[in-house]
């Protein structure tokens, strides 16, 4: 998955507009324009499409954490220069304040089964003997499960309790 794919899916999951996207970047101390956001969200075959680099994506994810959980006091974390699916999954876990069981439930919404041990391997340091690289399939299923969680069918609204941006903005 490209960074642009992940950005598009997160925008859909949270159902936010361009102004909120810009605000999320600003919460991680990066100034972007509406045109930047629109170009990053365009389909890959659009002539105005711009690729979102790893540092920009890491900045967005840091801003998302600040936006959903509140800004930490002191110096903000520096965005990573290089991203992989493990880092993206970890930052999304932090942003949405998810426990392992909740991540497994989200994956199960997409019909994707994973054990707790397999999941914990994604969050280990790369030099740990039980580290496992998070493949595109896992990240894609997680994001699709999040879409199902945030955009449930009308009859499935009971028990829906994850934080929304509307609650943060009030």
pLDDT score recorded for residue 152: 63
Question: Is residue 160 pLDDT above 80, yes or no?
Answer: no
Helix (H/G/I), strand (E/B), else coil: 135? coil
Q: Which residue has the higher pLDDT, 154 or 81?
A: 81
pLDDT score recorded for residue 154: 40
Residue 43 buriedness (CB in 10 A; 0-12 / 13-18 / 19+):
exposed
**Quick one: CA dihedral 9, 10, 15, 21, positive or negative?**
negative
pLDDT score recorded for residue 73: 84
pLDDT score recorded for residue 49: 94
pLDDT, tens digit (0-9, with 9 covering 90-100), for 11-64: 999 999 999 999 999 999 999 999 999 999 999 999 999 999 999 999 999 999
Are the C-beta atoms of residues 120 and 100 closer than 8 Å to each other?
yes
- The span from the CA of 114 to the CA of 70, in Å, is 30
pLDDT score recorded for residue 169: 47
- The span from the CA of 61 to the CA of 66, in Å, is 9
- The span from the CA of 41 to the CA of 14, in Å, is 14
- Two tokens, residue 90: 């970890």
The CA-based dihedral angle spanning residues 140, 145, 149, 155, taken in that order and rounded to the nearest 10 degrees:
130
pLDDT, tens digit (0-9, with 9 covering 90-100), for 114-133: 999 999 999 999 999 999 99
pLDDT, tens digit (0-9, with 9 covering 90-100), for 50-99: 999 999 999 999 999 999 998 888 888 899 999 999 999 999 999 999 99
Give whole-number Cα distances, 155 to 56, 93, 108, 134, 151, in Å. Answer: 38, 26, 19, 33, 11
Q: Write down the H helix ranges in the chain.
A: 3-14, 18-26, 34-41, 54-69, 85-95, 100-109, 116-122, 136-150, 165-169
Helix (H/G/I), strand (E/B), else coil: 156? helix
């Amino acid at each position: 998955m490209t960074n642009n794919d992940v950005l598009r899916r997160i925008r859909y999951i949270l159902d936010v507009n361009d102004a909120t996207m810009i605000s999320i970047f600003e919460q991680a101390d990066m100034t972007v324009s509406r045109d930047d956001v629109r170009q990053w969200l365009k389909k890959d075959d659009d002539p105005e499409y711009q690729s979102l680099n790893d540092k920009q994506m890491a900045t967005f994810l840091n801003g998302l954490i600040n936006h959903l959980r509140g800004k930490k006091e002191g110096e903000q974390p520096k965005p990573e220069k290089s991203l992989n699916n493990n880092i993206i999954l970890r930052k999304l876990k932090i942003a949405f304040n998810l426990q392992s069981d909740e991540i497994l439930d989200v994956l199960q919404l997409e019909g994707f089964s994973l054990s707790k041990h397999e999941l914990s391997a994604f969050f280990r340091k790369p030099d740990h003997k039980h580290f496992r690289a998070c493949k595109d399939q896992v990240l894609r299923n997680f994001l699709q499960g999040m879409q199902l969680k945030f955009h449930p069918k009308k009859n499935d609204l009971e028990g829906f309790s994850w934080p929304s941006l509307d609650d943060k903005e009030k």
